[in-house]
Chain A
Amino acid sequence: MSAPTRVGPPVGEPEYIEPGPLQRGKAKVVGALREFGNMFAMGLDVFFGLFRRPFQVREFIQQFWFIASVSIMPAALVSIPFGAVLTLQLGSLTEQIGAESFNGAASVLAVIQQASPVVTTLIVAGAGGSAICADLGARTIREEIDAMRVLGVSPIHRLVVPRVLAAMGVAALLNGMVSVVGVAGGYFFNVIVQGGTPGAFLASFSALAQQSDLWVSEIKALIFGFLAGLVASYRGLNPKGGPKGVGDVVNQSVVITFLLLFFVNFVISVFYLQLVPAKGA
């Protein structure tokens, strides 16, 4: 029997060639850039979605409550030792160079500007973000998200915006709490343990710190909260294949948030230190 056989690939389709390591590397980089671009695009969507009516109040409150409830305890527990360690370290340093009186200012500024927003967001991302990511991931593989799109409802507006906003809100509030607890911890260790003078701690603080330090801390917390919510949602909405994929994206979302967090923190700190003159300088 001589069935007509066709040699080679179907017409109009290039033959597939096994990629070499170089091509594969290139494909990886391109893939990563594309992911980043998509995430950025979604970030813009979410940002504009923040101002779109109707606002999903119920979803926001639920998410806010949820993220807050899983983040408050760990944040408080982390902030006490963190503030203490910073104060002790700075305390011994300032003592060596004979500037004990500035210990208070230094440790408070370090806590408020650096430690507090970062710690807050690590916890919001680790405890709240991972749960958001897993939740959205499970919904995606159950086709709930597709169903929502088909019903003419944007999941960005309906699900992502309230989550991102909740993450921002919790980050900003927790940041305040972590700052207070951290500073109190620092005060306790400086004054009680290291035998510093309470007056000097407070005086140096008010001599060197300014209100904008607090503002930048809060702004950082808001931006980090946005990033944590965005990364978690983006990864959650794009799992690769089945339930195992959901586990993978949760993992990735936490790692990506941490990387982004430290990078963005660096950028903001540099700009702040450059642009806002230090008090008394």
Chain B
Amino acid sequence: MGVEVAVEGLSKSFGRQAIWRDVTLTLPAGEVSVLLGPSGTGKSVFLKCLIGLLRPERGSVVIDGVDLCACAERDMYEIRKLFGVLFQDGALFGSMSIFDNVAFPLREHTRKSETEIRQIVMSKMDMVGMLGAEHKLPGEISGGMRKRAGLARALVLDPQIILCDEPDSGLDPVRTAYLSQLLIDLNAQIDATILIVTHNINVARTVPDNLGMLFRKELVMFGPREVLLTSDEPVVAQFLNGRRIGPIGMSEEKDSATMAAELAHQAAGHGDGSGHEDVRGIVPQLEPTPGLPARQAVRRRRARVLQILDTLPESARHGIMAELSLEDYERYQDWRRRTTGMAMPQPMPQPMARRPLPPQPGPAQQRPPQPGPVHPNQTTPLPPARRPRPWRRDDQGGRG
């Protein structure tokens, strides 16, 4: 199973340019998360902090019990073996052929024979649809191909944590759809923790279990996908719909004069390039290709989300309930009746959080009979003063 990545109070600046501050989020083990954000908000910088390539000024990134922000170089190299990272431009080694690039991690870290290496490399190349290009140099293939080759290289050691920096940029919509499917299939097969950084709305709506957004030097939200997809937050609504009207401007922030002018234009009938329909709302999540095992993450996430359900906003709650199968819904009702008996008090009560979900009644093929013990991270009661609503930063009200 994948590894949990716990980020706490992370702040990064270059000189006196603050990139983002106080980012706190947890990538749950084995789940797929997507981080959205307009260009230049420091998404790539965030990824580099997660792998210890950049050292943030404050905060911690804890993986497997090791704080990457405060560990020795030697431990860092060990921890990094858990990672597969796809950089924004592929970051292939320019002097090596695609084959050698993909084989590089195997040659460095394993004692496999050349035949075995060849076999593994070819299977990964096949996975990303790059067969036939293995003897080309990175300079001789297109940007999208470089990206796919970069992904093949990131996957070759079967990583437990996969980070993808804009896997879709430079790819056409069809290839992006294939890539999304590939990541979901991977998650089903190796149960890796995946974080995708993107500004592709389609990917954000269909791929992840958890969704977050960076804007104005902060993490606007991070939580179950339903929360962000149904959010009324103006930034989120603007971003998901790709509109000009809203707080995001051509440069990072918009001043009120521009905002007023745009509203006036809109009132006068000047469209802003986006369709009129609102694409927010929960759409079905991408499933693994038929024939593959079901994603373990789905079950784990459902247990987790149902436990914090009462802390989520109404629209997200409706969305989540609507997605439940009848069976799950009954199970949930039953569990609620047994744990509380009546309406649930607001900050989550401790006993409820500790108890695992009741065993599943029916013979469900795809799910293991007993939902595993709840992850320690969720059993600790949230300090009510600090995070009454875990998907959202507290001090939102003070801005505007």
Contact = CB atoms under 8 A, between A and B. Distances in A.
Given A4-B400, A149-B53, A151-B105, A144 B92 contact: yes
A142 interface: yes
Contact of A147 (B18, B93, B108): B93
A27 to B, nearest CB: 10
A3 B400 contact: yes
Contacts of A142: 89, 91, 94
Contact of B108 (A16, A139, A152): A152
A5 B94 CA distance: 51
Contacts of B92: 144, 147
A128 to B, nearest CB: 17
B14 to A, nearest CB: 10
B94 A6 contact: no
B109 A150 contact: no
Contacts of B80: 149-152
A147 B87 contact: yes
B149 to A, nearest CB: 12
A63 to B, nearest CB: 12
Identify which of A5, A16, A138, A153 gathers the most chain B CB atoms within 10 Å of its CB: A153
B85 A150 contact: yes
B48 interface: yes
Contacts of A144: 91-94
A154 interface: yes
Contacts of A213: none
B171 to A, nearest CB: 18
Nearest to B22: A12
Contacts of B89: 142-143
A2 to B, nearest CB: 10
A248 interface: no
Interface string A134-171: 00001100111011111111100000000000000000
B88 interface: yes
Contacts of B400: 3-5
A23 to B, nearest CB: 13
Contacts of B94: 138-139, 142, 144
Interface in B137-165: 150, 153
A27 B108 CA distance: 41
Interface residues on B, range: 20 to 34
A143 B16 contact: no
A152 B305 CA distance: 35
B178 interface: no
B83 interface: yes
A152 B93 contact: no
B398 interface: yes
Contacts of A139: 93-94
Contacts of A153: 104, 108
Interface string B93-109: 11000000000110011
A13 B11 CA distance: 12
B77 interface: yes
B397 interface: yes
A154 B77 contact: yes
Interface string A3-40: 11110000001001000000000000000000000000
Contact of B48 (A146, A151, A154): A146
Contacts of B104: 151, 153
Given A152-B80, A152-B108, A146 B398 contact: no
B398 A150 contact: no
A221 B80 CA distance: 38
B194 to A, nearest CB: 16
A153 B104 CA distance: 10
Nearest to A158: B108
Given A139-B94, A143-B88, A151 B108 contact: yes
Interface in A74-110: none
Identify which of A146, A147, A154 gathers the most chain B CB atoms within 10 Å of its CB: A147
B246 to A, nearest CB: 15
Contacts of A3: 400
Contacts of A143: 87-89, 91
A256 to B, nearest CB: 22
Contacts of B18: 13
A139 B94 CA distance: 8
Given A142-B89, A147-B85, A147-B91, A152 B398 contact: no
Contacts of B109: 152
Nearest to B53: A146
B16 A16 contact: yes
Interface in B284-335: none
Contacts of A16: 16
A148 B93 CA distance: 9
A142 B85 CA distance: 15
Contacts of A149: 53, 77, 80
Q: Which 3 A-B pairs have the closest CB atoms?
A: A147-B91, A143-B91, A3-B400
Interface of B: 16, 18, 48, 51, 53, 77-78, 80-81, 83, 85, 87-89, 91-94, 104-105, 108-109, 150, 153, 397-400
Given A3-B400, A142-B91, 14 more contacts: A5-B400, A138-B94, A139-B94, A144-B92, A146-B87, A147-B85, A147-B91, A147-B93, A149-B53, A150-B83, A150-B85, A151-B153, A152-B77, A153-B108
22 contacts: A3-B400, A4-B397, A138-B94, A139-B93, A142-B91, A142-B94, A143-B88, A146-B48, A146-B53, A147-B87, A147-B92, A149-B53, A149-B80, A150-B51, A150-B80, A151-B80, A151-B108, A151-B153, A152-B77, A152-B80, A152-B105, A153-B104
